[in-house]
Structure 1
């Protein structure tokens, strides 16, 4: 039997914009998602926008009860910046009441809240000033973090600053998947740098607040896998690692931006504008732990005819289609559990064996109603197998000495997923959008309860 430590965190992850609903109610101001849906609803799956999502704002007491029913002892979600500070300055007291009640309810049920500050939901008032392109965003975010620590620091003892910062950089400024849908690598690098400095100043505010607890950041990091060992492919792997993994992981844990990354950006005329004192701030404000979101590996090879200087990431590396891959056809993502072992060893050997946890892992599947049994339960055996395979590799890494303290699935109840809406479902509980958001446990939820009850399988 595979057994995990007695104090291991078993749970799930979600975000405010993907679950709360009430997106323009109860004092909350608009985010880029609210505005984009207003401007271009046709971009969103089946016109499913951010208005209601999973209605957690009203249904959190039932959700917390359901968390307990399937053996969760922890849950990571986020605070909505636009709900807490609708204009960036004025505290929304109704938001404070909601979040305090929600977090206290978790604590009352023996569920530890891990609270994140930013999950792709840029307030519109800040977007109008340029969003993360504007250096003002750094101090605006630090102020928001300060207020959050003041209002909830007595309840929350594990904080994170950002979820997957690479995603809002890449999707918003390189690929066109998130607002403002700009395709400009120079701007993307500047947005990335301001995001990093916002994280750093939030950590500084946490240290100054002297609230009890620890602070980290959630990153979608993993070592890239190269097509071959030839020098060109290995250079592509190095470039991918520098931009996608080490750009945030090195400063967060080691307190420094990699010299090789600076050289790569300089050689390609992509260096961001920085301020004096930034280097010292990065060095002095490292994290206590790391969350790692893992869904699929990064496989790369050398580009055939790259531009120089680079205009886009595919001038530095391009995807490699591994012929032996196993695919989740609904997302088009490769399923490769072995990467969790590689991540564990990377964290052990390259990042001081800092405490870390799997902050997201999951399998999105479309049309899950196909798998309902006669009692109306979705028999998602594929999700159970997915979890087992990944936990086996994680356990192997922990046995080798990697300092992992938890495993969180994406997600607890089916949630809204940006432009994809509810196309793919990930939850331990299904959500019936046509029946007052009714929650129904899936087979994976019952399996999770059994597994967490014996702390292994």
Structure 2
């Protein structure tokens, strides 16, 4: 029996401005990538030149059979200096939205996807009480100019991401200490990097608060207050636009004796933020794998478990569980705003997509209002500190020529979208 999806289902893919556009020279990440001794494997440079080739990329999405596109506006392009808005950047994103309309691609716009203007970091970054107001001012300007062409907005991407990053860093540090002790050379390099970072921003290193940096409880609340301030502003200036946020959610599981630790992780990573989401129109789910807890804490994937290029366990069935427990708590329409796999084996990407979508379809069949699925990502792109080494894309990019080549997974996923059903 053919497993169909709801009528009007949004079939799409996602990107983030800094990872695909190239030359975001006013962003904090651009500065960090170019420091001597940078922790980035390589700078983003031209990335995949999406800032110039966006129309070609949107046309290709439509040709493949997709009907929606989640992408982000780059704050540092639009407001390169505080209070100074760049009309050229606004006009560019207006053209991107026009291209979406021309090719019948429904846009889902993210207003902040990890990168921030350098001036914001110098002004206290994501630990400053002034940041919510500054973010809302940026959102107001954007939505006044472009809101009539934006049906869905995600204010902030993975607003809870710093919690997961802190846990991953702690685990890696524990593993390194257990295996080889303290690596003095590595520590010296990091100290040199942070010294260079402080010099570049004109701040003591401990006062540099980028979005993906270390986060205090106050900083976490500031991020979610920024979401609330943005939502209020967007409602006022663009009332027809539906507003939501995206969170990074693992499928949190427990073995006997690990139930309390799993419940604690769920509270830390998701449930504590529910009050900030009450006024939203939809919720953006982002899931890639599972985390399993036992009596002594997190249990890494088995040595023989299939893993992705990111070191995650291959576990597409986690998406269904995450959608179910997210909806149980938020009681709002769900859009899967990111789900995918970093792999050089495209057959495994196809398998991942099929298994993930089986879970999405099962949720929809049970009456959960899942409105869309945005695969991460549209193209192979710049994976932050890891450079261009990780391949998440449905479309391969030869960066020497910026030639796009859809992978078999792109055609496979496109066929599902065209038929609105699992094949």
- Tell me whether the two structures share a fold, i.e. TM-score over 0.5: yes
> Secondary structure, in 3 states, of the residue corresponding to 1:138?
helix
**1:260 corresponding residue in structure 2:** none
Summarize the Cα distance change of 1:385–1:145 in structure 2 as closer, same or farther, 3 Å threshold: same
**2:180 corresponding residue in structure 1:** none
**1:362 corresponding residue in structure 2:** 340
Q: Is 2:294 the counterpart of 1:293?
A: no
**1:404 corresponding residue in structure 2:** 370
**2:152 corresponding residue in structure 1:** 158
Summarize the Cα distance change of 1:416–1:345 in structure 2 as closer, same or farther, 3 Å threshold: same
**2:403 corresponding residue in structure 1:** 438
**1:319 corresponding residue in structure 2:** 298
User: What CA deviation, in whole Å up to 9, does each residue of 1:195-253 have, x standing for no partner?
Assistant: 0100010011112214322000011124521232x3xx2221122111111233x1243
Q: Which residue, out of 93, 97, 103, partners 2:87?
A: 93
**2:392 corresponding residue in structure 1:** 426
Q: Is 2:285 the counterpart of 1:251?
A: no
**1:383 corresponding residue in structure 2:** 349
Summarize the Cα distance change of 1:18–1:128 in structure 2 as closer, same or farther, 3 Å threshold: same
Cα shift at 1:107: 1.0
Cα shift at 1:323: 4.1
Cα shift at 1:322: 5.0
Please say if residues 166 and 214 of structure 2, whose CA atoms lie closer than 8 Å, have aligned partners that are also in contact. Answer: no
Summarize the Cα distance change of 1:186–1:400 in structure 2 as closer, same or farther, 3 Å threshold: same
> Secondary structure, in 3 states, of the residue corresponding to 1:298?
strand
User: What CA deviation, in whole Å up to 9, does each residue of 1:80-116 have, x standing for no partner?
Assistant: 1111111131110100110000111011100011000
Q: Is 2:76 the counterpart of 1:82?
A: yes
CA distance in 1, matches of 2:416, 2:320: 20
Please say if residues 161 and 199 of structure 1, whose CA atoms lie closer than 8 Å, have aligned partners that are also in contact. Answer: yes
Cα shift at 1:351: 2.3
CA distance in 2, matches of 1:225, 1:131: 34
Cα shift at 1:381: 1.5
User: What CA deviation, in whole Å up to 9, does each residue of 1:347-400 have, x standing for no partner?
Assistant: 343322x101111111112xx4xx7xxxxxxxx221111100111111112212
CA distance in 2, matches of 1:251, 1:453: 38
Summarize the Cα distance change of 1:43–1:187 in structure 2 as closer, same or farther, 3 Å threshold: closer
Question: Normalising by structure 1, what TM-score?
Answer: 0.79
CA distance in 2, matches of 1:113, 1:136: 30
CA distance in 2, matches of 1:71, 1:34: 34
User: What CA deviation, in whole Å up to 9, does each residue of 1:151-190 have, x standing for no partner?
Assistant: 1101111001111122246548984999988699995222
**1:39 corresponding residue in structure 2:** 35
> Secondary structure, in 3 states, of the residue corresponding to 1:43?
coil
Aligned residues between the structures? 387
CA distance in 2, matches of 1:415, 1:89: 31
CA distance in 2, matches of 1:247, 1:410: 26
Summarize the Cα distance change of 1:444–1:135 in structure 2 as closer, same or farther, 3 Å threshold: same
Please say if residues 325 and 335 of structure 1, whose CA atoms lie closer than 8 Å, have aligned partners that are also in contact. Answer: no
> Secondary structure, in 3 states, of the residue corresponding to 1:328?
coil
Cα root mean square deviation, aligned? 2.5
> Secondary structure, in 3 states, of the residue corresponding to 1:327?
coil
Summarize the Cα distance change of 1:188–1:327 in structure 2 as closer, same or farther, 3 Å threshold: farther
Please say if residues 14 and 337 of structure 2, whose CA atoms lie closer than 8 Å, have aligned partners that are also in contact. Answer: yes
Write out aligned runs for 1:55-70 (5 A): 55-70=49-64
Q: Is 2:266 the counterpart of 1:241?
A: yes
User: What CA deviation, in whole Å up to 9, does each residue of 1:2-42 have, x standing for no partner?
Assistant: 21112000000011111111322xxxxx2221111121454
Task: Between 68-77 and 329-338, report the one with greater CA deviation.
Answer: 329-338
Please say if residues 326 and 336 of structure 1, whose CA atoms lie closer than 8 Å, have aligned partners that are also in contact. Answer: no
